[in-house]
Structure 1
Amino acid sequence: MVLKNPSNTIIPKLVYGTAWKKDRTADLVYQALKAGFRGIDTAAQPRHYQENLVGDGIRRAINEGIVNREELYIQTKFTPLSGQDPNNMPYSTSQTLEERIHTSIASSFANLQTSTNPEDTYIDCLVLHSPLPSIGETQKAWEVFSSYVPHKIRALGISNTSYAILESLYNEMPIKPVVVQNRFYADTNWEVPLRRFCRERGIVFQSFWTFTGNPRMMRTKPIIDLATELSILGVKDAEVVSLYALVLGLGNVTVLDGTTKFERMKADLEGLELASRWAGGEGKDRWVQCLNGFKQLIGENEI
């Protein structure tokens, strides 16, 4: 299950999220890769991520032959000063914005190096963790990002963005965003207009807070109905898999999955594979009913 976009970057439908894993990060990344994940999301933000341990987990999996670098989608972020712990940052407050970006990217290359030759290290996607205080500064950061594309960094994205800022980057920057990583929950009306903008332009919307941010949704008819069908197929954790499947069904979407349990990692991956086969075969009509109900629930059919 992968998506392609105009940059030819291949992004798995489920990407393993490494935020808040602390000292367990390396082992959890290794477990995720062993379970079958092929996408990893991290950030050069020691406040919430341990990017160096993410690299340790990836290197362990590669060294054991579980995966090779070419099979992986590795995504990291540049986090502006406002999102950093002032006592633990990958750059200095005395540096200019351009210098901070270069320093942060250098630290990410070092942390995520998978070859004995540093020159062979590349990142599949670099994400601007949040817009800068002004559109001008945001575009300046994007220009610096762009200087690494397409060799050391294959594609660019932005997280926690508004529609207006995304539109300005897409319309005014020569290198277009390939990824938008935003929360998927009621407080942003599930980003219906922004996701439509992405879908129409081949931008992949990466949904986070998909499960955590939607506890009430788990009791709605589309989720319950789909979970009932998937349970009959033997899908474990069918409610969670149903939510992920329906979000993915919205089109040009991937989901960040940060579970810390190996059994859940496997259940999510295997469950989505079963759901996909069922939806494309004997369950097609029932799947369409559930998906249409889900779209109505989040207002997808109202624009």
Structure 2
Amino acid sequence: MTSVPHAVLNNGVTIPRLGFGVFQIDDAETADAVLTALETGYRSIDTAAVYGNEAGVGRALADSGIPRDELFVTTKLWNDDQGYDAALTAFDASLDRLGLDQVDLYLIHWPTPGRDRYVDTWRALEKLLADGRTRAIGVSNFQPAHLQRLLDETGIVPAVNQIELHPGLQQAGPRDFHAQHDIATEAWSPLAQGALLQEETIREIAGRHGRTPAQVVLRWHLQIGNIVIPKSATPARIRENFDLFGFELSADDLHAMSALDRGMRTGPDPDTFD
């Protein structure tokens, strides 16, 4: 089985740099998709309360027979559950649905700055970490200004910021901020929901390497230092997205892909989404 490289988070916890995401996969299909991913070699599974499929993830983990200490499970707190007490209650509900007594990474899903609760919410995550109920805590979709406020007003630097990131939205500013503060960058929508797979540059690179455009984009993520979590419910594509370790992009390939950045979001703007 291919060995996936790991990143070491700022608290010493290690995370596979290639994981499996389950966004928009129906709960009834999630267990089969996750089992296929686990059989393929993925050991990191990324879900969220709002996806409505934590229970399906939990069923797959239980049915897989893989020891818990070989798995890395991430879930996320939804916007409506922000606030100290509400976050603790929501975390309990996520654990129940997953059938676990601990997750490896718990994230605040969005900053929702209009609600102004993410600092109190972060303090709840700090308690969950101190109590050993999660091995690491982080955020998702936070801009540098939101992160700076957490650094200024709380005691623990987020281990991870999971943000929309792909060749069309390369996020140089957030990635620089993360590097300065030892925050790992994790990419969601790493393929821009397929929008970049017809790009001539990517298709030319794929042809030279005998790979698919999706594999080229995912390999780009790994080579620039991202943690990446592609999602699919199609077994063949789940396996294709894992097959990234038999080739390497050249410096010229990476330079050509850097020119594709055009600020193209497929999801909401974190500064306004509530």
TM-score > 0.5 by shorter chain: yes
Q: Which residue of 1 aligns with 2:154?
A: 173
Structure 1 or 2, whichever has the larger Rg, is 1
Counterpart check, 1:42 vs 2:47: yes
Q: Kindly state the Cα deviation for residue 132 of structure 1 after the two structures are TM-superposed.
A: 3.7
Please, which runs of 5 or more residues in structure 2 have no aligned partner? 264-274
Alpha-carbon distance in 2 for matches of 1:220, 1:168: 41
User: Which SS does the other structure have where 1:154 is aligned?
Assistant: coil
Q: Which residue of 2 aligns with 1:241?
A: 215
Label 1:75 to 1:244 Cα distance change in 2 as closer, same or farther (>3 A).
Answer: same
User: Which SS does the other structure have where 2:129 is aligned?
Assistant: coil
Contact 1:19 1:49 in 2 (8 A): no
Contact 2:83 2:118 in 1 (8 A): no
Structure number with higher helix proportion: 1
Q: Which residue of 2 aligns with 1:101?
A: 87
Among 179, 183, 186, which residue is 2:164 paired with? 183
Aligned-residue CA RMSD (Å): 2.3
Label 1:190 to 1:49 Cα distance change in 2 as closer, same or farther (>3 A).
Answer: farther
Alpha-carbon distance in 1 for matches of 2:205, 2:109: 34
Among 192, 204, 207, which residue is 1:228 paired with? 207
Work out the number of aligned pairs and report it: 257
Contact 1:25 1:54 in 2 (8 A): yes
Please, which runs of 5 or more residues in structure 1 have no aligned partner? 82-90, 115-120, 280-285
Alpha-carbon distance in 1 for matches of 2:241, 2:22: 16
Alpha-carbon distance in 2 for matches of 1:9, 1:172: 24
Q: Kindly state the Cα deviation for residue 111 of structure 1 after the two structures are TM-superposed.
A: 2.0
Counterpart check, 1:261 vs 2:234: yes
Q: Kindly state the Cα deviation for residue 248 of structure 1 after the two structures are TM-superposed.
A: 2.1
Label 1:135 to 1:248 Cα distance change in 2 as closer, same or farther (>3 A).
Answer: farther
Q: Kindly state the Cα deviation for residue 72 of structure 1 after the two structures are TM-superposed.
A: 1.1
Alpha-carbon distance in 1 for matches of 2:16, 2:204: 26
Contact 2:107 2:139 in 1 (8 A): yes
User: Which SS does the other structure have where 2:49 is aligned?
Assistant: coil
Label 1:164 to 1:186 Cα distance change in 2 as closer, same or farther (>3 A).
Answer: farther
User: Which residue identity is paired with 2:129?
Assistant: V
Q: Kindly state the Cα deviation for residue 43 of structure 1 after the two structures are TM-superposed.
A: 1.2
Which is bigger in relative contact order (C-alpha 8 A, separation at least 6)? Answer: 2
User: Which SS does the other structure have where 2:136 is aligned?
Assistant: strand
Percent identical: 23
